[in-house]
Structure 1
Amino acid sequence: MATLKELSEYTGFSITTISRVLNNDPTMSVSDATRSAILEAAGTLHYKKPSPKQRREPHGKLCFAIAEMLSPVEQLEDPYYLYLKNHAVQHCMDLGCTTVSLLEQDDGYHLAGRESIDGILAIGIFSERQIASLSSLHHNLVFLDSAPDELRFDSVVINFKLGVEQALDMLIHRGHHAIGFLGPSRKLDERKRPAPEVRRQCFIDYMKKHNLYDPALLLEAEMTAPDAYRAVQERIRTNGTRPTALLAANEEAAFGAIRALHVANLRVPQDMSVISFNDTPLSELTDPPLTSISTHVESMGRVAVGLLVQRARSTDEHIPLKIVVPPTLTERASVSSAAF
């Protein structure tokens, strides 16, 4: 019997859309083609709605608002945050909780069509002004994938340093020494202020520690497939220093790199190994399947929702928690031993 998550992966529609269609939500407006595709997939995958006994009644009356850093269009370009949201929403549904989206306008965030909520899940990074607006709506505020103020708010983040170390440990063990990094030198920090990009800095620190650092192997690119494609293509075209292995800041950058290598008739991993961060289901669909540092988006979403529920059910004062999730390396076919 399929889950809503599996239906979402099968159809490409969000968990929220699928749930509302299957529950005949009268306020949900979708095309006949969308409704038909969802119903057909539900039949094909033998989906059955959970009975009331399967729901966890103690949490049934809670409602949480979700604030998102990226717009729906931006999420299509980098689906990492879309996966984070979908897993969080799915866990809320599993607990019998409901979710609503927050609308951002010039004067801050607003609830759409609801008078009260039990907490807010903020996914991504937010500016000081945005954080102030969110905290004015509810004191139960949990940040997912950032920790802008550890003294005030609960947060769930990934350990980037550990992920970089795992990737580089494996590459060195496979005989690679000319290892490059593909990504931006600077990015917004956890309060949307310009700062050195964390993964890149962890890479530099590790390579210096092991006497392998070569600044010529840093390929500057935004974390998008087109810009990563441009950066790798330019390196190949100019016969610049070419790494035997490449660590990409995210999946989109890795996809762009692999495409540039294919166009140049260079093979992955024979001519260059590639590793990326995130490890969404898309990593298994590349050619070859992508070795990736898994950030465990499902676990991150579950932990964040757990904090929201715990705080909503408790009247006691609490110390804000910062939960750091350790990534793990998922090995696939995009990495091989270095040629000697």
Structure 2
Amino acid sequence: MATIRDIAKRASVSPATVSRVLNNDLTLSVTDDTRERIIKIAEEMNYSKTSKKSQTRIALVQWYSESQEQDDIYYMMIREGIEKQIQKFNFEIIRIFNNDFSTIDGDIDGIIAAGKYSFQQVDHMKKYSDNIIFIDDDQFQNGFDTVLTDFKYGVQRALDFFLDQEIKEIGIIYGEEKSTDGLKTIVDKRFDCYKDYMAQEGLFQEKYCFKGDFSKKSGYEQMKLAIKKLDNLPKAFFISNDPMSAGALRALQEASISVPDDVQIFSFNNTSVAGYVNPELSSISVSTVQMGAAAVQLLYDLLMNKNHVPYKLELATKLIFRESTKKVEKK
């Protein structure tokens, strides 16, 4: 039985356009020739009206499993932003975990992919739809719309906060991860920003850099390693996310190293974890909900605007100061 996707491919238009034409949506901006061509192709392919979809169907692809998402508030908040915004367009949303498309029943009109993906995984997505928006994975150079966080200036502002206190030895605990198929290694852009800026200031030292895997356990282990290896621990650490920072904080407390009196910590993401630990973490706030909403807006334009061109959006960050850093008196 012919599907909307089959008709769209033959007519060289998007599935969403076919769906709206066959549902007699007179607000759709297409030429009469295009509208007539779609209807004619549908008739030639014996398209059954009973198979029409009443809604545009969007797949929300997440690289984590559902249980892993519960432990990662960052991606959970992105999803909530997507689901809230998508209601405005009356799209049907299908959730897919671990990039597993076997759960899809029927056609989909577009994809929002949150997470990190290998070339092979992206190629697999394209078999289901060419209309893909990526969140937190820079696929812009491959022709896809991409929504990202500003890492560069957020990290620089946190480092400047320490440098303004004349702290020149600043450590970092950062992460490295792989796509779920293991075929792509994802470097931590926060580390790249840290390294470039500290080198620019003539202050970069490899011995102050500790690489983990973004988990609380890893943050704990890497800070324990720093305490063991370094004769003099840096007076400040930038740490790539809140769970790692919470783990690092525990290691410092076990070693009777006071935060922020002996060592200050600036974290990244500003999830609820930052406010649950003691002392509470200063953290760079990321606009996770807005990232999800922006992806939906981009997908809507991609589906409905024949003149759409790919966008690369970087959302700004904000420094949130709490108890893990010292208050600096302004002169």
Partner of 1:42: none
The Cα of 1:238 is off from its aligned counterpart by 4.7
Q: Conserved in 1, the CA contact under 8 Å of 2:65 and 2:98?
A: no
Q: Are 1:71 and 2:71 an aligned pair?
A: no
Q: Are 1:318 and 2:299 an aligned pair?
A: no
Superposition RMSD in Å: 2.5
Question: Which segment is superposed worse, 132-141 or 143-152?
Answer: 143-152
Question: Which segment is superposed worse, 252-261 or 95-104?
Answer: 95-104
The Cα of 1:137 is off from its aligned counterpart by 0.8
Partner of 2:169: 178
Partner of 2:267: 276
Secondary structure at the counterpart of residue 127 of structure 2: helix
CA distance in 1 between counterparts of 2:161 and 2:97 reads 44
Change (3 A) 1:177 1:112: same
CA distance in 2 between counterparts of 1:212 and 1:317 reads 47
Change (3 A) 1:103 1:242: closer
Indicate which of 109, 113, 133 corresponds to 2:124: 133
Residue-by-residue CA offset, 1:268-295 (whole Å, 9 max, x unaligned): 1111111111111221222122111112
1:220-259 map, 5 Å: 220-238=211-229, 240-259=231-250
Secondary structure at the counterpart of residue 302 of structure 1: helix
Unaligned runs of 5+ in 2: 1-53
The Cα of 1:194 is off from its aligned counterpart by 2.8
CA distance in 2 between counterparts of 1:174 and 1:140 reads 48
The Cα of 1:149 is off from its aligned counterpart by 4.3
The Cα of 1:95 is off from its aligned counterpart by 4.2
Residue-by-residue CA offset, 1:128-160 (whole Å, 9 max, x unaligned): 121111112112110011122434211101121
1:147-162 map, 5 Å: 147-162=138-153
CA distance in 2 between counterparts of 1:104 and 1:278 reads 23
CA distance in 1 between counterparts of 2:317 and 2:178 reads 21
CA distance in 1 between counterparts of 2:316 and 2:195 reads 20
CA distance in 2 between counterparts of 1:149 and 1:200 reads 21
CA distance in 1 between counterparts of 2:287 and 2:187 reads 24
CA distance in 1 between counterparts of 2:234 and 2:70 reads 30
Q: Are 1:206 and 2:200 an aligned pair?
A: no
Change (3 A) 1:288 1:104: closer
TM-score by length of 2: 0.75
1:1-340 map, 5 Å: 61-102=55-96, 109-113=101-105, 115-184=106-175, 186-188=176-178, 193-194=184-185, 196-238=187-229, 240-314=231-305, 316-336=306-326
TM-score by length of 1: 0.74
Change (3 A) 1:240 1:231: farther
Q: Which amino acid letter does the alignment assign opposite residue 192 of structure 2?
A: Q
CA distance in 2 between counterparts of 1:168 and 1:212 reads 11
The Cα of 1:222 is off from its aligned counterpart by 2.1
The Cα of 1:258 is off from its aligned counterpart by 0.7
Larger Rg: 2
Percent of aligned positions that are identical:
25
Secondary structure at the counterpart of residue 214 of structure 2: coil
Give aligned pairs, total. Answer: 274
Q: Conserved in 2, the CA contact under 8 Å of 1:104 and 1:110?
A: no
Secondary structure at the counterpart of residue 233 of structure 1: helix
CA distance in 1 between counterparts of 2:285 and 2:195 reads 21
Unaligned runs of 5+ in 1: 1-59
The Cα of 1:304 is off from its aligned counterpart by 0.5
Q: Which amino acid letter does the alignment assign opposite residue 164 of structure 2?
A: H
Secondary structure at the counterpart of residue 319 of structure 1: coil
